[in-house]
Amino acid sequence: MVSTVKVPPDGGYGWVIVLASAASNLIIIPLMQTFGLIFKDTFLEMGLSATQGSLIINLNAAFGMIMGLVNGFLLKVFGYRKIALMASFLVTTGVILTSFATTFTHFMITYGLITSLGMGMNMAAYGLALNMYFRKNRGKAVGYAMTITGFGPILMPQVINGLTKIHTVHGTTLILGAISAHSFISALLLHPLKWHMKTEIVEDEKLDPIEEDPPEENEGKTETRIKLIRSPSQVARSRKNSMMGSTESLDEVENGPIYGMDSALAGSVISLHSMKRKASVVSQSWKKGSTPSISKTGEIYNPEMSRPIKKKSHWRIFFDRLVKFFDLDLLKDPIYVNILVGLSLAVFAEINFSLLTAFILAEFGLNTDQIATFMSILGIADIIFRFLAPYIGQLMKLTARPMYVITLFLLMLSRFSLLISNNYIILLGVALGLGIAKGVRTVYMSLVLPTYVPIEKLASASGLQMMVNGFCILLGGPVIGIIRDVTGNYTMCIIILNCITFSTIAIWSIEAVMTRLKKKQEVQDKSVEQTDTLLNKT
């Protein structure tokens, strides 16, 4: 039987989504990296210590990530477009209010909390939109978006340097708030996926279409689309494709909570199924000649059954719905948990090393101009290899996780090279290696989760990931600082960060070996079973 299914455009308007994502991140992400450049003199005038300044910056980096689980839920309920608009509002408001900050508490609230929350929601919304619009070209889309975003940390410091020569810190920050407001335009470009989905013809003899209602044209209404009855083998195959990043079932996902469907509808469906189950029990009992009874508590008791069917407690119902809303059942999947832990450890090591790079180079005796040259080479290599990363992956014929592991090896090697290099020319070579590894890593880090998690759970999965990242940064960052103070140099810090990165490689490698052995055992068991079957027949 020939049927049609709705699939993402995998191009077309998707390239506008890429441009919108890149433009928004180009504006918003550099705000965190240039905060110290704007307020370094202000902190001295206010009498804030280095610890207080560091706490403000770390809170900004971590709080938006810690709220990742909530962001995932909000994305499921309201969709990425509304959340992107809210993110623009929070970032713009936070930056403008920060321009009036005169106390440590004021900075903590406006920049550490409000602006950070907006940044976290911004990352989650655009990341989901990109992954929803692309399937086959997902790597290229992320690579292009990240490449354009990479110009932000290069251009924004120059913009701020020029503004501070003309305006006060207050005026410069107000202008940055106005620049942040341009992210509203990017958010409005995030059209709902159903506006641009295309139709593909597929052949499947077991697909039986069910009657469908005419779709609504208005965005706010829930659109009822064709649903298909699948055989068990097709359900298993669909699950496999979904795990590998396939989006063939997006037509059904589109009408779920991720596009704004009232979650109460899901509760009504659950109640309907519950009523059907109770009716089925009563019906079967009457057919067998026995009379079921219903207790005052709502329990159905059948004399032929060994025990009554117990009604769930209110707390159990609340817990089940909580798990459903936040997709916490993901934590039952050991592979997802392994990915979650591995990514969080690697991200923690990378962010801390990036924050410490300038201090490490200064400790090695490099002057400001030499450090700037080192950072420029690193940044240029980063941008170039963000663009080339998808093509490198295609050439090597590797998926996201293996490519990410390779970049972790390169990062470890480059960091270790800093410890044994005392020549400035060699250090510039290290900068080149760091930039190459960082550029490829940035692209494939964004693809590790989407290539495993089903698309309908991607928002929650990414939210959990960001939350764990945030806690790691908030709790682990000060530990690295303590190690520096105790040892008196950054050598031990680099060694520890490399060990943390290696732990990601180790746990993922163990998982890969165990998975391969399990598959090999299943093949052997199946072969033995087929042999036994043939022998029995003969």
pLDDT band at 88 (very low <50, low <70, confident <90, very high): very high
Confidence band of 501 (pLDDT split at 50, 70, 90): very high
Q: What is the mean pLDDT of residues 16-21?
A: 92
Q: Residue 308 has what pLDDT? A: 54
**Across 97-106, 269-278, 325-334, least confident range:** 269-278
Q: Is the pLDDT of residue 328 over 70?
A: yes
Give the range among 10-19, 337-346, 465-474 with minimum mean pLDDT: 465-474
Amino acid at 341: V
φ, ψ of residue 201 to 5 degrees: the values are: -95, 130
Instruction: Give the pLDDT score at 390.
Output: 83
- The pLDDT score that the predictor gives to residue 538 is 66
At residue 48 the predicted structure's pLDDT band, cuts being 50, 70 and 90, is confident
Q: What is the tens place of the pLDDT at every residue in 179-231?
A: 999 999 999 999 988 888 888 777 664 444 433 333 333 433 333 333 333 44
* Between 462 and 270, the higher pLDDT residue: 462
Pick from 66-80, 229-243, 357-371: least confident: 229-243
Residue 80, token pair as written in the block: 């990425």
DSSP state of 298: S
The CA distance from 524 to 514, in Å, is: 15
DSSP assignment letter at 112:
I
- pLDDT computed for residue 219 by the predictor: 39
* Selection from 247, 480, 509, 515 nearest residue 404 by Cα: 509
In this predicted structure, what is the pLDDT of residue 85?
A: 94
* pLDDT at residue 114, as a whole number: 92
Can you give the pLDDT at residue 20?
A: 92
First CA to last CA across the chain, in angstroms? Answer: 38
pLDDT at residue number 4: 80
C-alpha distances in Å from residue 171, one per residue of 38, 96, 100, 344, 455: 11, 10, 10, 37, 43
| Residue pair 115/90 in contact by the 8 Å Cβ criterion | yes
Question: Mean pLDDT across the stretch 405-411?
Answer: 92
3-state secondary structure of 309: strand
Most confident of 23-32, 251-260, 417-426, 509-518: 509-518
Q: Which of 305-319, 438-452, 522-536 has the highest mean pLDDT?
A: 438-452
* Confidence class for position 502, pLDDT limits 50, 70, 90: very high
Asked if the model's pLDDT at residue 499 lies above 80, the reply is: yes
Most confident of 142-151, 258-267, 290-299, 344-353: 344-353
Rounded mean pLDDT of 450-473? 81
Q: Identify the residue with better confidence: 55 or 192.
A: 192
Specify the pLDDT at position 289. 47
Mean pLDDT, residues 260-268 taken together: 33
Domains in the chain (CATH in brackets) are 9-197 (1.20.1250.20), 274-326 (no CATH), 329-538 (1.20.1250.20)
> 123-161, pLDDT tens digit by residue?
889 988 888 888 888 878 887 887 888 787 777 777 877
Q: What is the mean pLDDT of the chain?
A: 75
pLDDT tier at 36, thresholds 50, 70, 90: low
Q: Greater confidence, 221 or 429?
A: 429
The stretch 168-181 carries a mean pLDDT of 89
What string of DSSP letters covers 188-253? HT---GGGT-EEEEEE-TT-EE---PPPPSSTTSPPP---EE--HHHHHHHHHHHHTT--TTHHHH
Q: How far apart are CA 58 and CA 492, in angstroms?
A: 21
